[in-house]
Structure 1
């Protein structure tokens, strides 16, 4: 075998190759398989693209190369796979010069980024975990930005399932963590998010697109209409109204205000999932770009208009009418915030979280009011509530909830959105309609979501105490409650976050299929 000549190397004569059969030579990127078949010479990467088995141990028949490990089959001339779960075999250029066979020393795809983008789409479309993993890895290796990968997966999920699903929520939540993850964990986060989106879309009918109205009404009118269609559960009308608002070119803040107002027409709708999906759709658009709002935002409308409110549930009416309690407190919200100290140094999050885990709804409302008077902002209430919910979940790891007058609750808790600046109006006022009630998200959210913690798992959490190592995360355990506390101001939270998510991405997150 001669040395490479202008990127080609001599592998032998045509007669020798015809007599000896398949030949393997070492190329610039790995072993190359040389095959003579029906008067032509072909050169392919010798490693099966499925799982790396040597293709020289396979067979060639009628122009089809078959790998004998998993029986992946390839077109000998182009290297293209017949089986979607495999991949294309990179081919090398071949030249026959005066009876000698010269083969290019390198192989690969002319546009690696485009190739792996298509492979990721194939994996998502057919719910093939290995292909998804290769597609994500290939795009990262080709230098594709992580935001572009998130955008590709998110748009696939929005277009290939009729409605927002858990997969898109997981994808968005993991994408929010990408800035604090290391390189290996970034790949795992993207893979797990894409895998869950594919599982959500598997076997589902693609989304049917709807068009905006021909007119361009004022944003205030569109907001009123969206609340109206939500109240009467008219999905098509709500989607067209939302698409019209997007086509009008209103700002993300106006869109957020309209959707959050409509999404809170019912108290704690769909046990919080409706509002949670709305918030995650906002976060997803922050990641992938608001120019995709017409694709992503309509996916949350179906669940929003069909959601069942807590006011329709007996558990929220007996033995204490929690809806009336929330509405009464909401009417005082503006006055409470205007009369508060507006202190940016309020830091009693852990103390308030303990109060929120009590048994008496009236005392919980009083604790929230006291915190507002002491200077707590809406974001502080959300942080305390999320921390209290995490403690309650930790307490559930050691024992099931006990029976209470409201019954045993097993539903999951969905904390209220912390992006309090989404709505354009800070006062929480809303446009008046014939069916309007004082229940804007910034006014009723703290009360409804706090009381949902009680109903979600009604059990005192006094036994729960927590300490988390600042460097590593203990493995998740089912039968004993973890020990953790609010990190101190001076602690290294970046190390804590990296260690915690490193452990979760490798153990706690599992694809459903």
Structure 2
């Protein structure tokens, strides 16, 4: 288990300055810079840094900013292949980057190549390629009514060059379902009024003020829509042995939403025959004995 990661100044020391070798590969240091059980943050460009983790002698590289609220992940904890942010507890598969929580984007992970004693990471460029993921994040925020998720998704989409028209179209689709399924005959008028007013105000401003108005408009249209959040499979590579260990760990902590994503991934990977045996073993674990509903 990796706990209390090593904190390193974001400005690399002399001799550790990232060097590019083309094809997106960047030299980020040496093996000696990341001792077993520790981690290190390395700045690779303005406003962008990677986190290096040495877990059981293997080096992993991820974006150092938690996709939830940007907290440095080098301050997190790694256990059983799961990286947990030290601020709000969002958990990620350290290898593939899949997040076990709703209302949080998956973590970007990078290939690592060890050349002699040098560490090279293929971080790629900063071209925006996450339009679909951030639209999904906005949809989740609209369903839950979480203001932070709505604001964050809207900001990410706008900064990525997604048009305001596309964002509003998604909000309107959600609003139609929300009003039709959760409001009475006259209950949607106030919501529509707030949405239209927010959009109208937003057109008069730029920058952060415009973002604030759009986010408030989205918050006004949010709410249940007679459907639940879609469960997404964890990004590969994910092996059954990992899923088995994660489900047992999450079961001990009664974290049902994390278990659900693991089991959904197993089913999509054709491992459905293993699921029932695992669930029964979890249900009759010593710390659950006496709770009959576990096997109901």
Matches within 5 A, 1:356-367: none
Distance in 2, matches of 1:183 and 1:38, equals: 45
TM-superposed CA distance for 1:185, in Å, is 2.6
Provide Cα deviations, 1:454-499, integer angstroms capped at 9, x if missing partner: xxxxxxxxxxxxxxxxxxxxxxxxxxxxxxxxxxxxxxxxxxxxxx
- Corresponding position of 2:172: 154
The structure with more helix, counted as a fraction of residues: 1
- Corresponding position of 1:134: 152
Alignment partner of 1:4 is 2:41: no
Alignment partner of 1:189 is 2:213: yes
User: Against the structure 1 CA distance between its residues 40 and 109, is the aligned structure 2 distance closer, same or farther, given a 3 Å change threshold?
Assistant: farther
1:205 to 220, 226, 242: 226
Alignment partner of 1:169 is 2:190: no
When normalised by structure 2's length, the TM-score is 0.60
Distance in 2, matches of 1:64 and 1:186, equals: 37
TM-superposed CA distance for 1:66, in Å, is 1.0
**Aligned CA-pair RMSD:** 2.6
1:25 to 38, 42, 50: 42
User: Against the structure 1 CA distance between its residues 110 and 183, is the aligned structure 2 distance closer, same or farther, given a 3 Å change threshold?
Assistant: closer
Task: Give the secondary-structure state (helix, strand or coil) at the position aligned to 2:203.
Answer: helix
The answer (yes or no) to whether the contact 2:19–2:27 under 8 Å persists in 1 is: yes
Task: Give the secondary-structure state (helix, strand or coil) at the position aligned to 1:192.
Answer: helix
**Structure of higher CA gyration radius:** 1
TM-superposed CA distance for 1:105, in Å, is 4.6
Task: Give the secondary-structure state (helix, strand or coil) at the position aligned to 1:111.
Answer: coil
When normalised by structure 1's length, the TM-score is 0.36
Query: What is the count of residue pairs matched by the alignment?
Result: 203
The answer (yes or no) to whether the contact 1:26–1:32 under 8 Å persists in 2 is: yes
Distance in 2, matches of 1:94 and 1:146, equals: 37
Distance in 2, matches of 1:170 and 1:75, equals: 39
- Corresponding position of 2:120: 102
The answer (yes or no) to whether the contact 1:161–1:205 under 8 Å persists in 2 is: no
2:203 to 179, 182, 200: 179
Distance in 1, matches of 2:77 and 2:34, equals: 16
Matches within 5 A, 1:213-228: none
2:141 to 119, 123, 133: 123
The structure with more strand, counted as a fraction of residues: 2
User: Against the structure 1 CA distance between its residues 195 and 124, is the aligned structure 2 distance closer, same or farther, given a 3 Å change threshold?
Assistant: same
TM-superposed CA distance for 1:46, in Å, is 1.6
- Corresponding position of 1:268: none
Structure 2: where are the runs of 5+ without partners? Answer: 1-15, 228-296
Distance in 2, matches of 1:12 and 1:58, equals: 21
Matches within 5 A, 1:227-266: none
Distance in 2, matches of 1:133 and 1:11, equals: 33
Answer 1 or 2: higher relative contact order, Cα 8 Å, separation at least 6: 2
Distance in 2, matches of 1:13 and 1:46, equals: 18
Provide Cα deviations, 1:101-150, integer angstroms capped at 9, x if missing partner: 21135566762322221211111122221111101111111112212211
Distance in 2, matches of 1:110 and 1:45, equals: 14
Provide Cα deviations, 1:237-274, integer angstroms capped at 9, x if missing partner: xxxxxxxxxxxxxxxxxxxxxxxxxxxxxxxxxxxxxx
- Corresponding position of 2:65: 47
Structure 1: where are the runs of 5+ without partners? Answer: 207-513
Distance in 2, matches of 1:24 and 1:5, equals: 20
